[in-house]
Structure 1
Amino acid sequence: MPGQVLRRGDLSAAGQVAALAARHAEDSDAHRTLSPEVIEELIRVGFCRHFVPQRWGGVAGTFTELLAATATVGAGCTSAAWCASLAAGAGRLGAFLPEDGQRELWGDGPDALVVAGLTPTGTASEVPGGWLVRGEWRYVSGVESSDWAFVCGPGPESGQGPMFFLVPRADYRVLDTWFPTGMRGTGSNTVVVDGAFVPRHRAFLRESMWRGHSVGSTARCHTVPLRVASGLLFAAPALGAARGAIAAWSARLGGTRDPASGDRAAGHRDLAWAAGMADAAGLLLQRAAQVADQPSVTPLEAVRNPMDCALAVEQLVNAVQRLFRAAGTSGQFAGEPLQRFWRDVHFLASHAALRLGTASEPYGRQLAQTARGKAGGPDEAGGG
C-alpha cells in the first residue's frame, strides 16, 4: 500500500490518524481489535516504513520522530498508538536479516505490516536450507492484520543464543486469547506456528538486535543497541494516553458537565498538576529519544534511557490517576474516554520494559561508579 512518509517535524498526518482512532476507540475497545480503517491509516501515514532502510523505500527515521507521532495518535486512542509504535519497531527487526531476507520482506515495497513475538518460547529444528519452526507466542499486538511475524526461539545449536525467525502470514494462525481490562484494542492475540519451514535468509541471532549489528545499513536507528531505544516504543503511547486524559478532563471543566462551582478551582488545580506531570514525563522521553538518535552513547546514557522511560510512565500513570479519581462516579461510566485512558495507562505500565525497579538499579550502579571516578564499560548491549 502506498505510504506517506512521516516527515521530520510534520505531525499533521499523525493528527489525522488520532482523530480517526478516537472516533473508533470505543468500538476498538469493545471488539478487542483496531478497525480496518484505523490500521489502513496507520500504514498510509508511514508507521510501518518508519524504520525500514532507505534502500528498500523506507525512511530509516528517528526515535524522536516516532515518539512525537505515536504520542499524537495516543491522545486519540492508546491502543492505536501502541500498534503503530510496535509496527514500526517490528519492521526495524528486518534490518538484521540477511540481504535476501530483506529483499523478500520489502522487495515489493516498505509497507508490510510486521508483528513480533519477542519471548523465545518456540522451537527450531535445523533442516537442509533452514529450520522447521513451531510454537506459540502470546501477546502479539496487531497480529490479525499482519503480513509477516517475527517469532523468537532458542537457537538450534548449543550456546548459540535465541534467534528470530520471519514467518509469512500463510504459515501461522491466530488464537483469540486477548481478553484484558486495558489496551483492549491492540488485539494482542496468540500466534501459532505448526512446523513452518524458515530458510536461512529469514532468520538472525537475537544478539545482533541487542548490539545493533544490522545488515547493509549504517543508519543510527539500526545500529543503536536495543536497550537504549526499546523503552521508547512502549512508553510513547502512555504519553499520548495522558494527553488524551487531560483533554477529556479539560472538556469536562468547560462543557455541560462542569463540576459544581465550588469545585471548579479544585478541578483547575487537578488539571494543572496532571498537565505538569505529563509535560515533565514528555521531556524525559524526548531526552531518551534524542540519546537513542545520537551517533553513540556513553555507558551512563545507555542505562539512563531505560530508567527515563520507566520513570516517565510512572509519572504519566500518576497524572491520569489524579484526574480519574477527581472525576467521581460520572467519569467511570462505559464510553467515557477518561476511564478508558485510565485502564490503558495502568495496563501499559505493567509491561516488563517499563518496570521502574528493574530499570533503576543499573542506572544507580553506574551513577555510583561515575561518582567514584570509575566509570565502567558498556553493559551487555549497552553503550555504542
Structure 2
Amino acid sequence: MQIDHDEIMRRAAAISPTLSAHARECDVARKLTAESMAAVVDAGMFRIPQPRRVGGYELSLRTLADAVTSLSEACPSSGWVLMVMGAHHWCMGSFPEAAQDEVFGDGRDGLIAGTLSSQGIANPVEGGFRVEGRWQFCSGVDHADWVILGCANPSTRRASVHVVVPRGDLEVDDTWHVMGLQGTGSKDVLAHNVFVPSNRTIDTRILFRGASPHAANHATNLYRLSAEAMLSVSVATAVLGSAKFALRHFIERTKERRVILTGARKAEHGPTQVRLAEAAAEIRSADLLIHDILSEFDGLMASGATFDNDHRVRAKWQAAYSAELCRRAVARMFSGSGAHAVYTPSALQAAFRNVNVGAQHASIDFDNSAELDARARLGLS
C-alpha cells in the first residue's frame, strides 16, 4: 500500500473515535491509556517523520502537522504526545546512521520521548559522554523505549550536545500534576552518570540549524530543516487542534443553550454570535499562518535550499502568533459559555485548560518570538 498524506489522514480519522472515548480516562491517569497509545502506534502515526531507511514513511512535515491537529481535535493529550514524540523521531534523521539503526532497526517502533532543551549536563569522556541531571516535560515517557535529552557543557553551561538514551537507563519522577494536558504524562526524567556512546549523540548547534551531514543521506531533504523551527510549528499544530475541538463544542453547546430567566435561545443572541464569528476567524487565521510556514518547509524540501535564520525567525513568530490566536479564541468562547462551563466534565473547560497549557511551551514564547521577528524587520539582529 502507498502510504501518503491521504492515507495518513484516513488512518487519523479512523482512530479518532477510540482516542475521543479514552480522552477523559487519559486525563485521570495522567498519561495516555494503553488503548490510546496502541491506536496511535498501530496506525503508524509515529512513522510519519521517521527516516525511510529505517522503516519510516519519511513524509512531509505538513502531513505530520495535519495528523497532530486531527488527533488533538479528538484527544488533545494524544495529539500532543504524537507531536512531541514525532518531533523526536524526526530528529533521529540527523543522528548518525548507527543510532538510527539501533533505535528503529529490524522494524522496531523505537518510540522516543525526551526534552530538547539543555537541562542536564554531558561530560566528555573516552568514546562518548557521561550524562547527569534532571529534565522536565518528557511527554509520553511512560510509553517510550528511548529518550532524547539536550545537554549543556558542564563548564560553560551552554547547550552542547543531544543524546539518545534507553529509557531503562533513566529514572522517571512523576511530577506531572498540572491544570491541563494531564494525559500527556509529561514527567521528569533523571540521569545518574549515564554513559552515552558518541554514535548516539549530535552537536546541538548542528541539529538546531538542520546542518547535520547525516541529513543528506536520506531519500528526501526532510531532515535539512532547523529542529528549533520545526518544533515551534509542531507545538502550534497541537494547540490548533485543541482550539478546533473547542470551536466545535462551543457551536454544539450554543445551539442547545437557553437563557435561564427568559428561555430565549442563545444561538439567537447577537453578542454570542459575534463571539463565535471572531473566535472562528482567529482559529482560521492561525490555521493559515501555520500552513503558510508548512508551505515554506515544503518548498525548502523540494529545492534543498538552505534553511537560514530568516526562515527560522519567521517560522517561530508565526507559530507563536498562531498559538496566541488560538488561546484568545478559546478564552473568548469559554467566557461566553455560561456558569455550567466551569464544571469538570465540560468540554469547553477542558479545552480552555489544554490550550492555555499548550501555549505555555517555551518554543512558542510569544514575547521572545515577537521580539526576534521585530528585530529582524528592523535590521537589528
Instruction: Give the TM-score of the pair, scaled to structure 2.
Output: 0.90
1:292 aligns with 2:297: yes
Q: Which moved more, 1:79-88 or 1:45-54?
A: 45-54
**Which consecutive unaligned segments of at least 5 residues does structure 1 have?**
370-375, 380-384
Q: Which residue among 34, 39, 43 is the counterpart of 1:36?
A: 34
1:124 aligns with 2:122: yes
Q: Cα distance, 1:5 vs. partner?
A: 8.2
Q: Cα distance, 1:60 vs. partner?
A: 1.6
> What is residue 210 of structure 2 aligned with on the other side?
212
Spell out the pairing of 1:361-372 with structure 2 (5 A cutoff): 361-369=371-379
Q: Cα distance, 1:16 vs. partner?
A: 2.7
Distance 1:110 1:123 in 2: 29
Q: Using a 3 Å threshold, how does the CA distance of structure 1 residues 162 and 300 change in structure 2: closer, same or farther?
A: closer
> What is residue 382 of structure 1 aligned with on the other side?
none
1:318 aligns with 2:328: yes
Spell out the pairing of 1:269-284 with structure 2 (5 A cutoff): 269-284=274-289
Distance 2:202 2:5 in 1: 31
Q: Cα distance, 1:196 vs. partner?
A: 2.1
Distance 1:302 1:151 in 2: 22
Distance 2:265 2:95 in 1: 62
Distance 1:201 1:263 in 2: 61
Spell out the pairing of 1:211-360 with structure 2 (5 A cutoff): 211-214=209-212, 215=214, 216-217=217-218, 219-255=220-256, 257-258=257-258, 260-266=263-269, 267-295=272-300, 296=305, 297=307, 299-360=309-370
Q: Would the aligned equivalents of 1:71 and 1:239 in 2 still touch at CA under 8 Å?
A: yes
- For 1:246-291, what per-residue CA distance to the aligned partner results, in whole angstroms no more than 9, with x for missing partners? 1111221334x45542532233332222212111110001111111
Q: Cα distance, 1:124 vs. partner?
A: 2.7
Q: Would the aligned equivalents of 2:88 and 2:113 in 1 still touch at CA under 8 Å?
A: yes
Q: Cα distance, 1:38 vs. partner?
A: 0.8
Q: Would the aligned equivalents of 2:163 and 2:201 in 1 still touch at CA under 8 Å?
A: yes
Distance 2:148 2:2 in 1: 24
* Amino acid in the other structure paired with 2:4: R
Root mean square deviation of aligned Cα:
2.2
- For 1:209-263, what per-residue CA distance to the aligned partner results, in whole angstroms no more than 9, with x for missing partners? 11112312363320012343221111111111111111111221334x4554253
- For 1:5-42, what per-residue CA distance to the aligned partner results, in whole angstroms no more than 9, with x for missing partners? 86213412112333222211111112211111111111
Distance 2:155 2:375 in 1: 34
Q: Which moved more, 1:15-24 or 1:204-213?
A: 15-24
Identity %: 26
Question: Secondary structure at 2:118's aligned position in 1?
Answer: coil
- For 1:36-88, what per-residue CA distance to the aligned partner results, in whole angstroms no more than 9, with x for missing partners? 11111111222321221111121222111111111111111211111011111
* Amino acid in the other structure paired with 2:54: W
Question: Secondary structure at 2:177's aligned position in 1?
Answer: coil
- For 1:308-331, what per-residue CA distance to the aligned partner results, in whole angstroms no more than 9, with x for missing partners? 111111111111111111111111
1:9 aligns with 2:6: yes
Q: Using a 3 Å threshold, how does the CA distance of structure 1 residues 292 and 319 change in structure 2: closer, same or farther?
A: same
Q: Which moved more, 1:10-19 or 1:177-186?
A: 10-19
Distance 2:11 2:42 in 1: 9
Question: Secondary structure at 1:250's aligned position in 2?
Answer: helix
Question: Secondary structure at 2:46's aligned position in 1?
Answer: coil
Distance 1:177 1:97 in 2: 30
1:197 aligns with 2:207: no
* Amino acid in the other structure paired with 1:13: R
